[in-house]
Amino acid sequence: MKTRIISAMTAALFLLAGCGKNSTSSGGSSSSAAVPVTQPVMTAWQQGDKSTAVSRFLETDWSGRPLFAPGSALSLTEAEFNSLSVTDQQLKDSKEMVPQLDSLKQLAAAVTQAGRDAAAKGDVTQARKYFTSLKQFGTALNSPDYTRIVQLVGQAFAKMADKEQAKIGQ
């Protein structure tokens, strides 16, 4: 448990320091056949296609569900995570959660930078779109449907978005 809390705090600190519309065809149902909302974005990101990933991030409806694939460490609730053995918790943390959260953090940093770049070019409307999408993603993560560490990451994304929005004016 201490390891997990430390991991959560570390991830949140890294986020704060570092830093198409893909709902299901059935109207956002949470059936097990539904494509996870994050999948198209993360696939492009993991393939190294940052511009496509950022564009897809911007187009994504973050209110859609499921956000993550069933069985993914990020899809676990706090209760589900706590029901795992200590060994399984540590494996999920080190082998799945931390790397996945790190990828999300890097993606959020790229979205933030795209918003900053748009603002620097005088395109405040586009910059707001980036920051609004980042905030919506953060809000989606900050849900009791996920572990506390995922919620903290979501809170960090939302704070970053708010901070950037304030710089350009609401």
Any domain includes 70:
yes
From the centroid of its chain, how far is CA 48? 17
Any domain includes 27:
no
Any domain includes 28:
no
DSSP 35: P
Alpha-carbon span 20 to 53, nearest angstrom: 10
* Token duo for residue 52: 């496509």
Any idea of the CA torsion for 118, 123, 129, 130, to the nearest 10 degrees? 10
Of 156, 148, 151, nearest in space to 140 by CA: 151
Any domain includes 23:
no
**Full residue range of the structural domain in which residue 156 is found:** 2-17+34-168
pLDDT tens, position by position, 70-122: 999 999 999 999 999 999 999 999 999 999 999 999 999 999 999 999 999 99
Any domain includes 87:
yes
Domain count for the chain, please give it.
1
Any domain includes 22:
no
Instruction: Give, in degrees to the nearest 5, the angle at Cα 122 between 120 and 124.
Output: 100
**Which ranges in 86-123 belong to alpha helices (H)?**
86-91, 98-120
pLDDT tens, position by position, 119-154: 999 999 999 999 999 999 999 999 999 999 999 999
**Low-confidence winner among 23-32, 48-57, 69-78 (lowest mean pLDDT):** 23-32
Alpha-carbon span 149 to 98, nearest angstrom: 10
Residues 6+ apart with CB under 8 A from 102: 11, 14
Any domain includes 26:
no
More confident residue, 124 or 26: 124
Percentage of the chain beyond pLDDT 90 is 78
Cis upstream peptide for 40 (omega within 30°)? no
